[in-house]
Each structure stands twice: as C-alpha cells, then as structure tokens.
Structure 1
Amino acid sequence: MGESPARYRDVFAVREYRHLFGANVLSLIGDQLTAIALAFTVFERSHSSTLAAITFAVTYATWIIGGPALSVLADRFPRRTVMLTCDLARAGLVLSLAVPGIPIPALLGVALLTNMFRPPFQAARASLMPDLLDGDRYPVANGLDNIVGETTQVLGFAVGGILVAAASARGVLLVDSATFVASALLIATGLRGTVASAPPAEAPSTSRLADMAAGARVVFSDRRLRSYLLLFWFSCLVYGAEGVAAPLSKQYGGGAFTGGLILAAMPLGVAVGGVFLTRGCPPALRQRLTVPLAVVSCAALVPVAAHPPLPVLLALLIASGLAGAFSIPLNAIFGRAVPAAYRARAFGVAMSGVCAVQGLAMIGAGAAAERLAPTTVVGGAGLLATLSVVAVAARWPRQPTDQHAPARPLRVAAQSSAA
C-alpha cells in the first residue's frame, strides 16, 4: 500500500476481522450494560452510593488484579478458544446475576468474577490482530477500534440507563447475556481455529508466576518496548483531570451538565484525532508524529492552571485528546514489535499499567484538589506528565530497518528459562 493510509474498506475486506470487530463491539456493549445494570441494582437494594461506585470500579480493578496473570491464557491456549470460553462464561455468569433475590455480597462477587474474563478476551483479541491484518491495515483497524470503543462507552451507558428505566435491571442483564452469546457465535463462525504461539523450546514454563514474569520481562528488558510502554503510561497522567471533573465544574459555577462536557472533551478529541491519524496521515508521517504528539497531549493541559474561561478549558481538553490519539499508531508499533509467543502477556502488562496509572492519577488529583484549585491540579498534572514524557522521549530508540521486527525473542527466552 506504499505511503498511502489503508482505507476502512481494506480493513473490512478481511473476513476474520469483520467477525472479530462485531464480536468486540458486542462484548463492549455487554460490559457497559453489566456495569450500569449492576450499579442500579446495588443502589436500589442497598441505598449505598459507595457500593454502587465499587460496582463500577470492578471493571478497572480486574485489569490491575488479574490482567498479567489471566492474559497468560491467551499465549498458552488457542486464542479463538480463549475468546469463546470467555464469552460463554460471561453469558452464564451474567444470567445468574438476573436471579431474583441474590444477596448483594454474592452479586458483587459474581460481578468481579464476570469481569475477570475480560483481560484474557481482550489480550487474545489484541494478539490476533497483527496476524490477521497486514501492512497499514493493522494501525487503521486499531484506530477504528479506538473510535468504536469510545463511542460504545458513551452509548452503552446512555442506552443502559434508558433500558433500566424502561424495563428493569434484570431485563438489561438478560439482554447483556445475549450479547455475549452473539459475540461467541461470531467468533465460532468467523475465526479459524487459530493456535496460540507456543513459547520457545529453550524456555519451558515452570509455573504461572514464571509465565507472568516472562510477559513483564519481554517488555522491560527491551529498550524499544520499554520506551513505547513508558511513553503511553506517563501520558496517561493527564487523566487525573477526570478525577476532578466534579470540583472543576463547581469552580466554573456549573453542575452535572458542565461536568459532562468536561468528561466528554478528551474522548471526543481522541476519536477525532484517531480518524485523522489513521485516515489522513501517511504511515511514515504517522510514526514520526508519535513522540511530538505525546508531548503535546500533556503540555496542552498546562495552561489550565491559569483558570481560563470554560470554552478555552474545553478547547484545551479536546486538544489534549486530539494529540492523545498518538496511542493508536503506538499500539500497532508495540503489537508488531512483541515476539508472538509473548504478545498476549505483553498486552496484559500494558493494559494493567494503564489502568493503574489512570486510577492513581485520578485519586492523586482528587486528593490534591482538597487543598488546591481544581484548575491548578489539572495544570499540574499536565506539567508532571509533560516532564515525564519528555524524559522518555530524550532516550527514544531509533527505529530498526524493519520497523515490524519483533524484540529479541531469543534473549527473552534465555532469561525466562533462568527465572
């Protein structure tokens, strides 16, 4: 395809991706419906906003708790089988949540267990993508998935709330279970029986802990992969702004509507930026822009410390999101650079770190906003993120002649066997 970016029609020309795309959309919708239905159920029965918030937090907690450990499964078993198993297990567990009168502790426990199947599903899917899509189709598909993910998150919550109001939380859970069944059908009928890439013979697995350690080692022992990951992680410090959306809205004399605008600004920017990068930028330019855009995505929030007018604040948040779309081509570079045998574990490490950084950034921003003006906190988060990203950029590795070459699998194998 040369220097021209791939088109969406080129991506959807791959039959297996069409099925994988549909299955992912259904699973994402299912995840959102589960969260909204359970939060309503818990709040209605317990009248506790804390328990309702914990229900929402379960989705993020599962990546931090089980991401690296459960992602191992997608490297040890056929990835198609892993995805099928995860969807069918979630369908059954969500169905059990619809049983009338289930105690709240049991409900929260089953909800946690249900979400534990998300990391291996997503890791298996991410590991399949580089094998299914060649050339520029892979980063363009990543951009499309990102846009759909942002849109699905917003629509999922909105539609879930409407469904709960129109029917009941139990009815939404039944619909949710059906989405996972439909996703499993798409995977069963559209994907080949793709086998997992077995680990190198020099590195026999001795335990689940050794498997997890190998995933972290393959990332952090290679300068390229380490730089890719740290750039993305440090840039996520700007998500501290979401943690102070409510007090920030109050500072501007607004309420829930203003808070919603603040929360929607960055995702909107990422979605628009993703379209521009994947459809309007040639692949070589897209790659050269990765580091500069990462810096801009953080630096754009520094002026917020000056307490600009609300329209300017929203414009800065959108600008941060637009530049933050650098993560889309970076994800494709990372996926192709990881040795195939460790790809799922590497994605598990990456996603767990993202969730941890975002969560800690939000908590830290919230704590800082107890003493400082929210605009000062957001600007400070932007400055901290900028300095961290610049530090990584200063040691940014040169791209190899083959930009898609995997990162030193033999060295990793030798280290794994010694673990």
Structure 2
Amino acid sequence: MSTAEQDRPATYREVFSHPEFRVVYGAVTLSNLADPVAKAVITLVVFERTGSVALSALAFAVSFLPWLIGGPLLSQLADRYPYRTVIGVTLAFRASLFLVAALFHWPGAVLAAVLFLSTLAAAPEQAARSALLPRILPKDRLVVGLSLLGGLNQVTQIVGYVAGAGLAAINVQLVLLMTAAFYTGASAIVLIGLRGWSGAGAAQRRGPHGMGQGFALVFGRVELRSIAILVFCAMFFVAMPEGLAAAWADDLAAGDERGLIQGVIMAAPPIGFITGSLIVGRLIRPSRRRALIRPFAIAAPLTLVPAVLEPSVPVILLMVAACGFAVGGVLPVAQGLFSVVVPDGYRARAYGVMQTGVTLMQGAGVGLTGLLAERFPLPGVITSWSLTGALVMVVVSLGWPHPGRFEAAIAAASEKTPDPAPQHQPGHV
C-alpha cells in the first residue's frame, strides 16, 4: 500500500463494515436517546410536583454528580470483566430503574434518585465502550468512528430533550416506560451482537485494580497527560455558551422571543460540533488531524471574543456554532489518540479519569462564568473569559509532545492485544 493510501481518511462505509461497530452504534443510538428523555421528563415532573425551580434545576444537576463521585471508581469494572457483560448488564440495570419508576406515582425526590443511579451506571458502561472501540476499529477508522458517535450524541441530545419534555406533558408514565424500553433494546443488542472481548489479561485480572491506577497512568505519562490537560482546559473555557444561554437571551430580547433565542443558542454548539467532527474526521487526512488539535483548541475560545461588541443574534449564533465546530475538530481526534496510547487492560480506568475531568471542568467553567455574570456585564464576561481561555490554550500547546513520541507510545501500547473470548460469535445487527 502506498503512503498516500495509508494517509487517506477512512470512509463511513469502511467504519460501518465492522459488524461490531454497527452493534455499538445501534446500542448507543437507543441509550443516547434514553438519557436526555429521562433528564427532561424527571426535571419536568420534579417542577410540577414541587413547584420549585431550584429543585427542578437540582434534579437536572444530579445527572452530573455520579461522574464526579463514582466515575473513576466504577470505570475500573470495565477492565476486570468482559466488555459485553459490563455494557449489557449496566444497560439492563438502567432499564429496570425506569421500569420501576414507571409503575408507581413516585415523589420527585425518588425520581431524582433514579436519575442519579442511572447516570452512576453509565460510568462503567461508557468506559467499557471506550475501551472496546480501539479493538474493533483499526487505525484511522477509530477516529472516524468516534466522530460518528460524537455527532450522534449531539443529535440525540437535541431530539431527546425536545421529545422528552413534549411527551412528558402528555403522559409521564408512558415516557418512563419508553425510556426503559430504549435501555432494554440497547442491552439486548449488545448482549447478542458483541463478542466476549476481555478487558485485561489473566495477569492483570489478578493484579490490583484501584482507581488510583487510572490517575497514575493518565498523569504519569507525558503523552496522556498532555492530551488530558489540553482537553480539560478546552472544556473549562468552551462550555459557557450553553450554560449562559438563558442570561444571554435575556440581554437580547423579552417574552416568547427570549425563549426562542435561548433555544437556538443552546442548539448552535451541538450543530457546530456535528459539522466539525464529521468534516475533520472524513475530509482531512490522518497525518494532518493530529497537527490540527492545538490550533482548533486555541480557536475554540477565540470564536467568542467578539461578544463584547454585542453583536446581533445571527452573529452570536455563528460565533457559538464556530466554537462548537472547533471543539468537534479537537475532541474525536484527541479521544482517538488517547485511546491508542493507553495500554490494553487500562483503557476503561483511563477513560473514567478523562470523563470525570471533562465533567468537572465543564461544570466549573459554567459555574464560574455564571458567578462573574452576576456582578459584571455579560458581554464583557464572555469576552474576558474567552481571551483568557485562548491564552491558556497557547501555553498548554507549548508543552505538546513531538509527534514521534506519540508514535512510539502507540507502538508500545499495541504490542500486546488480548483476543476476544472465543466461545461466542457475534450476531449480525
């Protein structure tokens, strides 16, 4: 094979030619629809049954807490048991939670607890999936596959929030049953369609599996540490548009128009992310993608700097969508690089550390900018925050390892790859 052929981007046809990726994609579609539907319906129910905006917001916020509390701890389960088992069982557990929730007229606090436990179970499920993908998608197909899953996640969030809130106003119990059905279908697809990929070799299974190993691995190796710091810092500075959308819209309009503007501001980053991840993943050759990680990371906060000029709504939407586009150009490529640098048997724990860090930094970024916006004009806060973010990303980018170092780390990580358990053949989904 020529160098040009090796450096061409993988096609969608090539990615979907892997039966087990089709299984994962189908399961992710169902579970990703269930997640926002559950958040929307439970948030609405809590508000209706308590009349408290604060409690309703708190019910939504509990969906972020499990990653901070149990993400690194529970993610290590995916390195100890077959990926198929971890994903299938956790999805089935989540289905059972919402089935029970649908059978009785529970108070809002109980439904919030259901959402908390469901999100807690997502930690090992997503960690196992993240560790599995490098096994079933070779080389550049992994990056394109991650781009497809990232775009799918954004689309299903938009659809799920709208559908969940709309249907909950008609019949809450039906929506909870629908959520349970989504998780049940996802679990069945995984248990039938995946092979028994093992998370670790026998020696590793006998060894220690503390969550500290994940932190030690991610922050103890310069390649992984560089990726983690860049991603964490980027998420800290770019999560702000969605978090401040309500306040931003309030500065721009009033009444029904304000709600519409808030909605389109919140929808613009996912649309930009989908576009960026698909274009970068499909049209840019692999050798260029990694070189673009740092420029995109710097560009993401820079797109929001013109906010101080108080531009019109269409310009704001372009700015926010451009920010999402840049993030879409960073995350799938950085995630793909991270996955192939982590040694087999440790990917789930490393993913748990990464996901926990991303969640923490997003929440902290939104919270801090919200506090600043309470005291200072919002346009100035957005611009100052974004300029600071761009400068931080420049500094972080200066410590980025040489490409050769990443290649050496990838080669070392891929030397020993455990085979899947031979006793089960995948179904065709």
Match of 2:263 in 1: 260
Q: Which residue is 1:386 aligned to?
A: 390
Instruction: List aligned pairs for 1:8-407, cutoff 5 A.
Output: 8-166=12-170, 168-198=171-201, 204-205=207-208, 211-236=210-235, 237-254=237-254, 255-325=258-328, 326-400=330-404, 403=407, 405-406=409-410
Q: For 2:176 and 2:411, locate their aligned partners in 1 and report how far apart those are by CA, in whole Å.
A: 43
Of 148-157 and 247-256, more deviation after overlay is shown by 247-256
Q: Using the alignment, how far apart are the partners of 2:162 and 2:312 within structure 1?
A: 29
Measured after TM superposition, the shift of residue 404 of structure 1 is 7.3
Cα deviation, residue 102, structure 1: 2.3
Q: 2:224 is aligned with what amino acid?
A: L
Deviation (angstroms), 1:278? 0.9
CA-CA distance at 1:179 after TM superposition: 0.9
Residue 176 of structure 1 and its aligned partner are, at CA, apart by 0.8
Deviations 1:30-51 (A, max 9, x none): 1112112212222222122222
CA 1:407–1:376 in structure 2 vs 1: closer, same or farther (change >3 Å)? Answer: farther
Instruction: State the identity as a percent.
Output: 34
Runs (5+) with no aligned partner, structure 2: 414-429
1:314-365 alpha-carbon deviations (Å, 9 max, x no partner): 2221221111121111110011111112100111111111111111111111
Answer yes or no: is the 8 Å Cα contact 1:63–1:119 preserved in 2: yes
Moved more, 102-111 or 75-84: 102-111
Secondary structure at the aligned position of 2:138 is classed as coil
CA distance in 2 between counterparts of 1:111 and 1:12 reads 32
Q: Which residue of 2 aligns with 1:413?
A: none
Whether the aligned pair in 2 keeps the contact of 1:139 and 1:328 (CA below 8 Å) is: yes
Over 3 Å counting, the alpha-carbon distance change for 1:201 and 1:309 in structure 2 is closer
Seen in structure 2, the aligned counterparts of structure 1 residues 396 and 250 have a Cα distance that, compared at 3 Å, is: same
Q: CA deviation at 1:203?
A: 8.6
Pick closer, same or farther for the CA change 1:30–1:280 going to 2, 3 Å.
same
Give the Cα separation in 1 of the matches to 2:55 and 2:22.
Answer: 38
Q: CA deviation at 1:85?
A: 0.9
| Other-structure match for 1:414 | none
**Can you list the C-alpha shifts for 1:268-307, whole angstroms capped at 9, x where unaligned?**
1111111110111111111111111111112121222232
Q: Please tell me whether the aligned partners of residues 268 and 318 of structure 1 are also in contact (alpha carbons under 8 angstroms).
A: yes
Q: Confirm or deny: 8 A CA contact 1:295 1:390 kept in the other structure.
A: yes
* DSSP-derived class of the 1:197 partner: coil
TM-score normalised by structure 2 residue count: 0.90
Contact 1:123–1:345, Cα closer than 8 Å, also in 2: yes
Equivalent position of 1:416 in the other structure: none
TM-score normalized by structure 1?
0.92
Q: State the shift of 1:169 in Å.
A: 0.9
The equivalent residue for 2:424 is none
More displaced, 398-407 or 324-333? 398-407
TM-aligned CA deviation for residue 200 of structure 1: 5.5
Q: Give the AA of the match of 2:238.
A: V
One-letter amino acid matched to 1:137: R
C-alpha RMSD of the superposition: 1.9
Distance 1:394 1:202 in 2: 38
